[in-house]
């Protein structure tokens, strides 16, 4: 389903919030992403908010500033999680977005009392995530990783037919700024006679897009691919941290377990599909590849099924932090390279009768592009740990070391349109306990 553009997308719109009008902001008035926040150190209840420039609109403070369906949606969004707003459906989300756009535009009466500085806020995971599923949608990532282990047959036969996924662990998902200890587990090297137990030695990041479910579906009632996007509240950035050595030992025959469930970092901001409507991309499948089965096909798939979202990974080592150096960019990719679309993931997830609920989270899987510089993980960038990366300050990395902070960033841009950003998702690794 292609979102219909409305006056919230007008590229000429500006805001009375001056910081929303700078060309480098992630949060112009055409974006308006959602979060859950509170003033830092206040002890107040967390509540929903919407970004505008370097400020947050406090949904709990709106009162009669909006009315009708927008007011009803704002009341739901002002709660300590966005689940109820997510469940309200796209008409409610769109009504609130439109009302906020008109409230914040240049020419409207400024209402600074509704705003909180982002620098003075702390954030929570924006929804109660009941279930988390991680997919594997980048054929470039799957091929590069497969080639490391199966040089003659990197892609397994099912990859081009079915969106591959596994169920993750919702309890360890945290918002940007997350710190976590290096995981421990069993590993066995290629020449070891038996496994050993200890801290992971091959810790990696995964550059992903997170997909928050809005309206759910009843058990036994699949969501058709052509209607799936009406069940998507929005997108965020997601880092699915991975212990590659633990993963290599445990993943057969049932897939990832301890190698994936110790930490997942998401950005605090959820960008709606409506905000991303002008940044749609054509979706293509090589003519030599199998075309999607009917339940994974839909009218707008090829014309606008993709999303043109730039994705970036940066690394800040402990030395860089101590010496005040700028984080180093490791790679940059784009979500348009995904082999499967957001709608296809939703349709496939529910085709067997599985019920999704508001606030559930889907991960796209590592988003790598066709070029080696677009790899979304160190496993690819270092060719399985065989080719260390040299950072601008001379340090080298094969995998993530203690004290390293990984930062994901994302944005959509098009000629004549503002930059729609996702903020960042950052996480720092502490030594194993």
User: Under DSSP, is residue 345 helix (H, G, I), strand (E, B) or coil?
Assistant: helix
Question: Three-class SS of residue 389?
Answer: strand
247 is in an annotated binding site: yes
3-state percent helix, strand, coil for the chain, nearest multiple of 5:
25, 25, 45
Determine if residue 136 is labeled as part of a ligand binding site: yes
Question: Is 264 one of the annotated binding-site residues?
Answer: yes
Consult the annotation and say whether 401 binds a ligand: no
3-state secondary structure of 223: coil
Q: 3-state DSSP call for residue 143?
A: helix
Among 156, 386, 163, 400, smallest CA distance to 263 is for: 400
Is residue 323 part of an annotated ligand binding site?
Answer: no
Is 205 marked as a binding-site residue? Answer: no
d(CA 58, CA 62): 7
Residue 150 among known ligand-binding residues: yes
122 is in an annotated binding site: no
219-to-49, 216, 222, 342, 430 alpha-carbon distances in Å: 31, 9, 8, 20, 41
Nearest to 51 by CA among 420, 335, 361: 420
Distance CA 32, CA 99 (A): 11
The response to whether 428 counts as a known ligand-binding position is: no
Alpha-carbon distance 101 to 108, whole Å? 10
Active-site residue 141, yes or no? yes
* From 141, 231, 348, 349, the catalytic residue: 141
Return the HEC string of 149-188: HCCCCCCCCCCCCCCCEEECCHHHEEECCEEEECCEEEEC
The residues assigned a catalytic role are 141
Residues marked as binding?
A: 134, 136, 150, 206, 208, 240, 247, 251, 260, 264, 366
Residues marked as binding for Mg(2+)?
A: 240, 260, 264
Residues marked as binding for Ca(2+)?
A: 134, 206, 208, 240
């Amino acid at each position: 389903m292609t979102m219909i553009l409305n006056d919230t997308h007008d590229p000429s719109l500006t805001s009375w919030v001056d910081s929303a009008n700078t060309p480098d902001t992630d949060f112009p008035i055409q974006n308006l992403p959602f979060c859950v926040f509170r003033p830092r150190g206040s002890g107040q209840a967390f509540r929903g908010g919407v970004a505008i420039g370097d400020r947050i609109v406090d949904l709990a403070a709106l009162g009669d500033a909006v009315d009708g369906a927008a007011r009803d949606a704002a009341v739901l969004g002002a709660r300590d999680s966005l689940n109820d707003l997510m469940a309200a459906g796209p008409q409610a989300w769109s009504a609130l977005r439109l009302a906020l756009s008109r409230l914040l535009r240049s020419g409207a009466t400024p209402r600074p009392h509704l705003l909180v500085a982002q620098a003075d806020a702390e954030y929570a995971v924006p929804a109660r995530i009941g279930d988390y599923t991680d997919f594997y949608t980048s054929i470039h990532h799957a091929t590069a990783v497969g080639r490391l282990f199966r040089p003659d047959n990197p892609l397994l036969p099912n990859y081009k037919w079915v969106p591959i996924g596994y169920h993750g662990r919702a309890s360890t998902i945290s918002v940007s700024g997350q710190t976590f200890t290096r995981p421990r587990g069993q590993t066995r090297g290629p020449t070891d006679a038996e496994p050993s137990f200890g801290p992971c030695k091959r810790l990696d990041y995964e550059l992903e897009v997170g997909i928050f479910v809005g309206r759910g579906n009843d058990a036994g009632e699949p969501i058709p691919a052509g209607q799936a996007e009406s069940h998507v509240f929005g997108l965020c950035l997601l880092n699915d941290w991975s212990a590659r050595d633990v993963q290599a030992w445990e993943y057969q025959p049932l897939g990832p377990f301890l190698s994936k469930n110790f930490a997942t970092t998401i950005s605090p901001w959820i960008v709606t599909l409506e905000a991303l409507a002008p940044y749609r991309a054509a979706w293509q499948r090589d003519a030599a590849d199998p075309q999607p089965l009917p339940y994974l096909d839909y009218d707008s798939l090829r014309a606008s099924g993709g999303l043109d979202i730039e994705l970036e990974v940066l690394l800040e080592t402990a030395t860089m932090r101590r010496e005040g150096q700028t984080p180093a960019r490791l790679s940059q990719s784009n979500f348009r390279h995904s082999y499967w679309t957001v709608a296809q993931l939703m349709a496939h997830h529910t085709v067997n009768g599985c019920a999704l609920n508001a606030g559930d989270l889907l991960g796209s899987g590592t988003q790598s592009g066709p070029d080696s510089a677009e790899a979304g993980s160190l496993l690819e960038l270092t060719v399985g740990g065989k080719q260390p990366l040299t950072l601008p300050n001379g340090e080298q990395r094969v995998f993530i070391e203690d004290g390293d902070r990984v930062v994901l960033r994302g944005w959509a841009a098009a000629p004549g349109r503002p930059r729609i950003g996702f903020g960042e998702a950052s996480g720092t690794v502490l030594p194993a306990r």
